Amino acid sequence: MISHETLAVAVIGAPALTTALLTIVPSRHVSSLAVACALPTSGLGIAFAIVGLRDSASLHHGIAIDAAGGLLVGVTGLVGLASVAVSPAYFVTLRSSLVALQRRQRVYFILLYSFWAVLFAIPIAGNLGIAWLLLEASTGPSAMLIGFSGKARALEAGWKYLVLTSLGLAVALLGIVILTAGLPQGIGGLSWHELPTYTAGAKPALIAYVLLIAGLAAKIGWAPVHNWLPDAHSEAPAPVSALLSAALLPSVLLVAWRSEHALAPVIGPHTAQTVLVGFGLVSLAVAIPFLWRSLAWKRLLAYSSLEHMGVIALGIGFATPLALAGVAIHIVGHAVAKALGFYAATPLVGHEPRAAAHGVTGIARTEHTLGAAMGLSLGTLAGLPPSPLFVSEILIVAGGFQAGRDWAAALATILLGLGFVGLMHSLLEVTAGKAHRRAGGLIPGLGSIGALAAVSTVMLGALTAAAFLLPGSSLVADLVKGLS
């Protein structure tokens, strides 16, 4: 039987090997090879997810295997598969010459698979130092993918992402250096199991923890250090935007979660969790005014990411079984709905070219399949019953009251209500608003988005059913325990 360590290496090695193959395969076969390799790569990720969700938490040879990591690897596998599958439709919209198109496809898929490999590795890292290195490694390929179109706004967004997230990781590194100085084992003590042995006192540990979380917040996209997020999500190719929002942001958040769990015995659980609750509430509050505005489709989804990363931060900060059950459902439900929304951007621009930079209305009146996909995505992200995010938000808020953080839970309820109203207004306008004359001809990716919408409907329905069964389950117990 294959060991957990071997499976972990295979999960990371599969996209890395594909990256190497993409550099040498003839240009005309690049796209076919990328799509063909996506299924086994995703399958390995799902296999690791099953192991992480089924087996008790363990940490061996620098590899972390637990429920939270398994959940994120599974999500990354599914979203990565879909992103590779819909990428050929994105290239149809570029209208480049055949030679230029083949050259750009090679670069694109090399960067995409490199990014996918790092995304798999982050939740598996059993050491805070290694996790930081992986986060830094993710910056290069993701920044180049954000600016891939070569347009001035995309290049600006890529540079903004590169500079701001690198600055954030530099702040996080300062926190790690402070932690290293107070660990008996030095740099070897950055293992998730060894961090609770910090001996320099609670005050230096708190300073290091705040620096670490504040630095990671820039990569997660928490307010007030979220400035790169709207531009990057709206300017990146749609399949890349899906990976950024559905996989990268929650994977970085997992590093923050594990850091909180590991350092809570040193600085106190209440203090450690309060930092996360604070970032969650601020992110919700900052996102609300933008969710009430008429924005371009991808920019609206970007501000929705800010809101939902805030919701997940609240659930982790509340840290009760109810809240963590909500977190598990929210991570998966958000990934499914947000990825579908970003994938819909490709046929949307083909259907109405102005949608790349302006808000649109009445899509369901002129293209039913596309309107249904966008409606499903936005309705789920709004928390419209019976979507899984409706149930997960109730669980997280209830977990806040269960934790004795009544003021935070009450404020979160108000903010979530305001976000719901804003997104529901956008939902009605985008799907059933005034219809405009649309571009004729073939719409790139429309067939794929119809199939993805059908699959997403089934998955979201299953998640809603699972949300009622999750509280009190062994999965929630494993999430509470973490890697300890």
Alpha-carbon distance values, 93 to 96, 188, 353 (Å): 9, 49, 10
Q: What's at 158, amino acid-wise?
A: G
Whether the pLDDT of residue 473 is over 60: the answer is yes
- The per-residue pLDDT for range 137-167, each reduced to its tens digit, is 999 999 999 999 888 999 999 999 999 999 9
* Residue 2 neighbours by CB distance under 10 Å: 9
**Measured at the alpha carbon of residue 282, what is the angle toward residues 276 and 283, in degrees to the nearest 5?**
85
CA-derived radius of gyration, the chain:
21
Compute the distance between CA of residue 46 and CA of residue 410 in angstroms, rounded to an integer.
37
DSSP string of 291-344, one letter each residue: HTS---HHHHHHHHHHHHHHHHHHHHHH-SHHHHHHHHHHHHHHHHHHHHHHHT
At residue 358, the pLDDT reads 84
Using pLDDT thresholds of 50, 70 and 90, give the confidence band for residue 442: confident
- The per-residue pLDDT for range 358-412, each reduced to its tens digit, is 888 889 888 889 999 999 999 999 999 999 999 999 999 999 999 999 999 999 9
Tell me how far apart the terminal alpha carbons of the chain are, to the nearest angstrom.
Answer: 26
Compute the distance between CA of residue 206 and CA of residue 146 in angstroms, rounded to an integer.
35
Query: Could you identify the residue written with the tokens 């993701």?
Result: 142
At residue 101, the pLDDT reads 74
At residue 139, the pLDDT reads 96
Query: Could you identify the residue written with the tokens 């347009």?
Result: 151
At residue 365, the pLDDT reads 87
Whether the pLDDT of residue 184 is over 60: the answer is yes
Q: In sequence order, what are the beta bridge partners of 60?
A: 63
At residue 375, the pLDDT reads 95
Structure tokens of 467?
């949300």
Whether the pLDDT of residue 441 is over 70: the answer is no
At residue 437, the pLDDT reads 64
* Residue 285 neighbours by CB distance under 10 Å: 19
Q: Backbone phi, then psi, for 196, in 5-degree steps?
A: -65, -10
Compute the distance between CA of residue 46 and CA of residue 50 in angstroms, rounded to an integer.
6
| C-alpha dihedral sign at 255, 232, 303, 95 | negative
- The per-residue pLDDT for range 407-425, each reduced to its tens digit, is 999 999 999 999 999 999 9
Query: Could you identify the residue written with the tokens 């708190």?
Result: 206
pLDDT above 70 covers what percent of the chain? Answer: 97
Considering only residues 128 and 185, tell me which one the structure prediction assigns the higher pLDDT. 128
Whether the pLDDT of residue 27 is over 90: the answer is no
Structure tokens of 160?
């903004």
Compute the distance between CA of residue 147 and CA of residue 368 in angstroms, rounded to an integer.
31
The set of residues, in sequence order, having a beta carbon less than 8 Å from that of 447 and lying 6+ positions away, is none
User: Once rounded to an integer, what is the mean pLDDT over residues 83-95?
Assistant: 87
Q: In sequence order, what are the beta bridge partners of 361?
A: none
- The per-residue pLDDT for range 36-80, each reduced to its tens digit, is 999 999 999 999 999 888 876 777 768 888 999 999 999 999 999
In this structure, what DSSP letter does residue 430 have? H
Residue 5 contacts residue 63 (beta carbons within 8 Å): yes
Q: Is 468 exposed, middle or buried (0-12, 13-18, 19+ CB in 10 A)?
A: exposed
Beta-sheet pairing, 58-60 with 63-65: antiparallel
At residue 85, the pLDDT reads 95
Compute the distance between CA of residue 139 and CA of residue 377 in angstroms, rounded to an integer.
27
DSSP string of 379-401, one letter each residue: HHHHT-TTSHHHHHHHHHHHHHH
In this structure, what DSSP letter does residue 60 have? E
* Chain Cα centroid distance, residue 26: 33
Please state whether the peptide bond connecting residue 386 to the residue before it is cis, i.e. omega within 30 degrees of 0.
Answer: yes
Q: What's at 175, amino acid-wise?
A: G
